[in-house]
Structure 1
Amino acid sequence: MIDTHKTGEFRYEVSGIRDQDEAEFGITPSQTVGPYVHIGLTLEDSEKLVPAGTEGAVEVTCTVIDGNGDPIADAMIEVWQTRPDGTYNTTTDEGFRGVGRGMVDETGTVTFTTLVPGGTEDEAPHFKLGVFARGMLERLYTRLYLPENSEANAADPVLALVDEARRDLLIAEQVEGGYRTTIVMQHEDPNKETPFFRV
């Protein structure tokens, strides 16, 4: 599983070699990338797509865990979405950015403050999510659909690409004040791992 944080146990044997001339010739050992995802990317209030107190604002909470159920405590989540009327923010709207970024805490959790997205002509209302973490060379892309839009969700062409048994993994849990989801990575049981999309 992905190492959860720098003080966690490493998955591979740690080499005592400190000089390249001491290393035997052969295949380069496996190693993770990072933890670099925070450097230069932590911006104050970047998880707030709208200012606190905005009318209609909701909180969207994402928790990232590995297949063992352990939090991935250095993950970063990006969110993109439409306005409530289903249009994308192509200009600078005061009060709504349409894009957010948040670093998770030690429990693997980050909360965004935003507005409920609207549907487009072809797709049900949803949040697009990007997941970054140590050991991943590229972000993973997934989506989060809203439970109150069951009819629109059933007709969504992107959600239809996911095996029917796994579609519920992309439906948010409605909670007081907003929505919650858990992103599960590297689970041995594919029916429990969050579906990700090739972009």
Structure 2
Amino acid sequence: MTSLRSTPSQTVGPFLHIGLIEDDGPFAVPSGTPGAVWITGRVFDGAGTAIDDAMVETWQADLAGPECSETRSGRRGFARSDTRAGQFAVYTVVPGPVCDGAGGEQAPHLDMSVFSRGLLRRVVTRVYFPEHADHHLVDPVLATVPLERRDTLIAVRDGDGYVFDVHLQGAGETVFFDV
């Protein structure tokens, strides 16, 4: 049997690693930043198989508190990681709450885009943190998600960091937002 090499297709993968991942890509904050944590996870397809050629991008508010216009800390607030090693890994700080523009606050969260083979466009989700459960109750975006599916948006504490797995389809599918 002849083995054929992968070729580009009309989807967003599997060539995400070519020219897109830089050495500092996974770092939303510099190494050694006080309070920084690793957020790791895997991206799963509909059959429950981990995808090793996906990419995630995260962006977030400032740690200092409600951010209504710009990041005040001078850090990037953006990170990008692929899953070639079996999982993605993003080094960041847990953000502060975000002004929602209507006088309220959204719970601390990361916004995340996922790019993977088989997707014609990225999918967008959010990563919320378990220690902010009181903020989850009043978050206007989280309030639009059925109660039984909200756990797909909440990272799990793991030692000094967090784990957030993304399920593109199937049982336990991550909630994605139409943006």
Change (3 A) 1:156 1:76: same
CA contact (8 A) 2:42 2:164 kept: yes
**Residue of structure 1 aligned with 2:56, choices 77, 82, 92:** 77
How much is the aligned-residue C-alpha RMSD, in angstroms? 2.2
TM-score by length of 1: 0.77
Distance 1:175 1:103, change over 3 A: same
1:177 and 1:88 map into 2 onto residues whose CA distance is 29
Greater Cα shift, 85-94 or 59-68: 85-94
Q: Say which SS state the counterpart of residue 136 (structure 2) adopts.
A: helix
What is the alpha-carbon distance in structure 1 between the residues aligned to residue 68 and residue 91 of structure 2? 17
Seq. identity, %:
41
Q: TM-score, normalised by structure 2?
A: 0.85
Pairing of 1:17-28 with structure 2 (within 5 A): none
Unaligned runs of 5+ in 1: 1-5, 9-30
For 1:169, give the aligned amino acid.
T
1:161 CA displacement: 1.0
Instruction: Tell me the CA shift for residue 111 of structure 1.
Output: 1.0
Cα gap change, 1:68/1:116 in structure 2, threshold over 3 Å: closer, same or farther? same
Moved more, 34-43 or 172-181: 34-43
Following superposition, the deviation at residue 36 of structure 1 comes to 2.9
Aligned to 2:102: none
Instruction: List gaps (5 residues or longer) in structure 2.
Output: 100-104
Q: Which segment is superposed worse, 50-59 or 75-84?
A: 50-59
**Residue in structure 2 matched with residue 43 of structure 1 by the alignment:** 22
Paired residue for 2:138?
Answer: 155
4+ runs of 1 displaced by more than 3 Å? 88-94
Q: How does 1:1-199 map to 2 (within 5 A)?
A: 33=11, 34-86=13-65, 87=67, 90=70, 93-94=73-74, 96-107=75-86, 109-121=87-99, 122-187=105-170, 189=171, 192-199=172-179
